[in-house]
């Protein structure tokens, strides 16, 4: 059994009943420009989740902070 089928078999109906989240991260505007392939691969994880059985409307993408350093996080979000 190849690794994709093995992973698919481990994802259960209980997993798919939950939302799938894909968090994208590039810490600076420069990384967005110079690492566009990495960003594209991160967005492709949405299709990976769909391929594992999540309906596309149950996959959420979190990319609001792309290109922003963690040092710019407002203090109310700091740990």
Q: What is the pLDDT of residues 57-73, one digit of tens each?
A: 999 999 887 777 765 55
Catalytic residue among 9, 27, 36, 56: 27
| 76 part of a folded domain | no
| 50 part of a folded domain | yes
The reply to whether 28 belongs to the active site is: no
User: Residue 5: which of 53, 41, 45, 54 has the closest Cα?
Assistant: 53
| 46 part of a folded domain | yes
How much is the mean pLDDT over the chain? 81
Number of domains forming the structure of the chain: 1
- 6 or 14, which is more confident: 14
* Dist. CA 19–CA 70, nearest whole Å: 25
> What single-letter DSSP state applies at residue 71?
G
Percent above pLDDT 90 for the chain: 39
The per-residue pLDDT for range 17-30, each reduced to its tens digit, is 999 999 988 777 77
The parent domain of residue 26 ranges over 14-66
> What average pLDDT does this structure show over 5-10?
71
**pTM confidence score:** 0.69
């Amino acid at each position: 059994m190849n690794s994709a089928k093995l992973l698919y078999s481990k994802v259960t109906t209980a997993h798919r009943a939950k939302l799938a989240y894909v968090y994208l991260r590039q810490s600076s505007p420069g990384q967005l420009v110079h690492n566009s392939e990495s960003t594209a691969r991160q967005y492709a994880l949405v299709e990976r989740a769909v391929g594992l059985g999540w309906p596309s409307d149950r996959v959420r993408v979190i990319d609001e902070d792309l290109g922003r350093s963690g040092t710019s996080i407002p203090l109310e979000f700091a740990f």
